[in-house]
Structure 1
Amino acid sequence: MSDKPNMAVIEKFVKLKLKNTETQEKNPLPSKETIEQEKQTGES
């Protein structure tokens, strides 16, 4: 077993057979408005 991939297998790989998937961000960053609101509530 070597760490190098088998080039014959890689050459046969066809990207067109892959399924197209939609990505969804699991942890979106808060907006500037949300950050400002939290800063204001933290100062009070």
Structure 2
Amino acid sequence: KPDMAEIEKFDKLQLKKTEMQEKNPLPSKQTIEQEKQADEL
């Protein structure tokens, strides 16, 4: 069982702020439509 006392006294303010960045964003509807049209040719 983890030691909860250690977790409770952890200072969140010491953590660095990070920017989340999507590694594999989904294509937009516009991109999907363009690819569908290209496949139909």
With the length of structure 2 as denominator, give the TM-score of the two structures.
0.83
Once the two structures are aligned, what percentage of the paired residues are identical? 76
1:11 corresponds to 2:8:
yes
Gaps of 5+ in 1: none
Structure 1 segments, 4+ long, off by >3 Å, are none
- Number of matched residues? 41
What's the C-alpha RMSD, in Å, of the aligned pairs? 0.9
Task: Provide the residue aligned with 2:39 in structure 1.
Answer: 42
